[in-house]
Structure 1
Amino acid sequence: MSHRIKDHPPRVFFRCGNPFKNLFPKTNNARISPNLLSLLNSFETNLMLSIRELIPKGDGKAILTVSWMKEAMASLCETHKSIRTLVTDLELHVSDLEENFIYIYSSISSKLLELCNSFTSELDRLNHGSLLLKFTLSKLETSSCSEEIYLLHLESWRQHMASKNPRFENWGAILSSLVESLKQHHHSLPKKKLSGKGKVLLRALYGVQVKTLYITSVFAAVFSRSSNNLLYLTIPNMEEVPWTQAFMELQNMVNPEIKNAFLSDRFTVIKDLEAVELGVKKLHKAVQEGSDTNVLVEVLKKSVIKLSERFDLVSKETGCLLKTVISARDALVERLWTKYEEELGVKLPMMISVKRLVCE
């Protein structure tokens, strides 16, 4: 690792200490049934395995590929689905949690949805660049344009790909607010003791939030081409949590690779896209020199089609995460609504679904 990389201090997750470290004090474990501990151990073991699967084998060159990004987003979607399954297995009622938790989760998830929408916007922008390039290549195949027009189209693609999505400006603030939201979660924890089920869910959610925050920061850094959005999350006093080591290994593998890519001042840190850009450079030179472009066009066309298909897969998994988070938000709100109806002894007006609002 270069000296310049070491100059970047890690962005600490909880500067005030880990708010979850006392969820399971040794003197209080007896209050949690073996069945609940079994559910938690199973959840955290699966979380560890899902994180370990994202650690690239070998020298880490697979990290900055669209395929790895697709796997990371798919893994994140499955992890969020697993929380829904855990809630079902716990047979959790709203009474097991404070209302503040639901409100805080709603705030955190709304920021995650905003990030996902931004990622989708950027993927659409990148795919629009693929369409521009496909159009240029079709013109080259039919030889219906002059050399100047070809070069203009190629330069237009490069300018489009080098431009920045205006939604990038908020990403750093959103990531920081997610960290702050988790701190507020700690300060808002109820003074009275949580039930065993509540403790299990909170600890499981901690792991989900750590994984979510880190992976979204990787996406934000890659898409914005700025290491300022890349987080390094510390997990103090959590040696007993099975996924900690895998998570630290993932960070220690991914972060240096991304930062080194930024230091190289490349056109893009996404390796698939960099390969396409190299093909465009060769084609640009061939057009200028009046050389035969048939082979270059054919190779570049295949690369562009493959890249577009892979971006579509990332978009699909991002959409999966969006739907899963929205579904979880709806479920929590419905549980809270049911609690109000039971306490008041009346039937309250049907709430407008968050999902319905998003779809409309």
Structure 2
Amino acid sequence: MISPKGSRLTEGLLTLLNAFEETLTERLKKLMPKDKDDVLTLSWMKLAMESLCETHNDIKNLITELELPVCDWEEKWIDVYLDISVKLLDLCIAFSSELTKLNQGHLLLQCVLHNLGSTSPKQFVRARSSLDGWKQQISSKNPRVESCRPILENLMGSLNLPKVKNSAKGKVLMRAMYGVKVQTVFVCSIFAAAFTGSATNLLDLNVSDALPWALAFSALQANVNMEIRNLFSVGRVTVLKELEAVDESVKILYPMIQDGVEPAEAELFQNSVSDLGRRAEKLSQGLDVLTKAVDSFFKIVLTGRDALLCNLRVSGPVSDPMVVTNVEQQARR
């Protein structure tokens, strides 16, 4: 990927690139689930998003260390960066909207638990109504998330690197950016699959074995994607583990609430209510930390765009001034 033709890489540039790729390799290894049950837990998804934030921060630091000012960037690099970043912002907005929807569902669960604190028939009716609302909430389609597939396909198509001529620093930047893009598409495709409930959003990326992080990535992708496809193959309502746990509690409680609790079922009923409360709280906590991780990624992408746009205004390397204007309008939408 770094051609021997043209400018050669100095020892200093190779050191920077090697350090970046070694860190990426270790980061990918840390994402390997210790157990198949870890796949698509909210805690694992948080770890994946935090890992992605760290990689994007690393590429920002690398650009600084390369001392490659924007005025030396080729137009095609800038075009690729701006195009990718606006798509990442769209994905973040979609993921955030789904997390908001799930959090709204948690409010309905709180109403259920409040009403089940009494044995009044009226309270049972209210609890049943709230459960009906919760089931409808989690099964409803989110148009924003459903639109992720074409965005992901476009990002996958952008993995091919622009050719770099006569710029050793440019070659390092483009190769490092390739690693960033591969991890980004991988993580975002998993989020899209989890939130849409469809394995069609999973992407299988092929990377060159010559890359030092290729083995770690391929093993991670094969492990995670296979487990997600297995989860979908058994007809799960949702592949999010904490959400599935809540759904299991709901399935146990709903008939009791609907038909009434017999004296012999009193202990089972109370235990089931306690289980629902515990699982609902775990779901809520997981959604909160994952929402913060997605928000952090959104801010990293947005601040990176802002920094580039500020430099473009000063150095003006883009031949068409409308490019900057249009991108700024996209960033403000």
Q: Map 1:58-73 to 2 at 5 A.
A: 58=35, 60-73=36-49
Counterpart residue number, 2:300: 324
Q: What do the CA deviations read for 1:188-236 (whole angstroms, capped 9, x no partner)?
A: x46xx1411111111000000000001100100111011111000011x
Q: Map 1:187-202 to 2 at 5 A.
A: 189=163, 193-202=165-174
Query: Partner amino acid for 1:263?
Result: S
Q: Is the Cα contact below 8 Å between 2:111 and 2:127 reproduced in 1?
A: no
1:264 matches 2:242: no
Which consecutive segments of 4 or more residues in structure 1 shift more than 3 A?
A: 146-149, 350-358
Instruction: Give, in whole Å, the separation in 2 of the partners of 1:298 and 1:355.
Output: 50
Q: What do the CA deviations read for 1:219-276 (whole angstroms, capped 9, x no partner)?
A: 00111011111000011xx323111000000111011101111110011111111111
1:281 matches 2:257: no
2:221 to 251, 260, 265: 251
Aligned length: 321
1:39 matches 2:11: no
Q: Is the Cα contact below 8 Å between 2:242 and 2:282 reproduced in 1?
A: no
1:212 to 184, 187, 191: 184
Q: Is the Cα contact below 8 Å between 1:113 and 1:322 reproduced in 2?
A: yes
Query: Partner amino acid for 1:253?
Result: N
Instruction: Give, in whole Å, the separation in 1 of the partners of 2:45 and 2:34.
Output: 15
2:158 to 173, 181, 184: 181
Instruction: Give, in whole Å, the separation in 1 of the partners of 2:195 and 2:278.
Output: 23
Q: What do the CA deviations read for 1:54-113 (whole angstroms, capped 9, x no partner)?
A: 01124x220121110010011011111111111111111124320221122101110011
> What TM-score does the superposition give when structure 2 sets the normalisation length?
0.90
Residues 148 and 142 of structure 1, relative CA distance in 2, 3 Å threshold: closer
Counterpart residue number, 2:63: 87
CA deviation after TM superposition for structure 1 residue 142, in Å:
3.5
1:54 matches 2:25: no
Q: Specify every segment of 5 or more residues in structure 1 that has no aligned partner in the other structure, as ranges.
A: 1-20, 344-349
> What TM-score does the superposition give when structure 1 sets the normalisation length?
0.83
Counterpart residue number, 2:140: 163
1:303 matches 2:279: yes
CA deviation after TM superposition for structure 1 residue 163, in Å:
1.1
Q: Is the Cα contact below 8 Å between 2:112 and 2:126 reproduced in 1?
A: no
Query: Partner amino acid for 1:301?
Result: G
Question: What percent of counterpart residues are identical?
Answer: 41
Counterpart residue number, 1:148: 125
Q: Is the Cα contact below 8 Å between 2:71 and 2:316 reproduced in 1?
A: no
CA deviation after TM superposition for structure 1 residue 27, in Å:
5.4
Q: Is the Cα contact below 8 Å between 1:90 and 1:197 reproduced in 2?
A: yes
CA deviation after TM superposition for structure 1 residue 153, in Å:
2.1
1:222 matches 2:194: yes
- More helix as a share of residues: 2
CA deviation after TM superposition for structure 1 residue 180, in Å:
2.8
Instruction: Give, in whole Å, the separation in 2 of the partners of 1:44 and 1:355.
Output: 34
SS in 2 for 1:316: helix
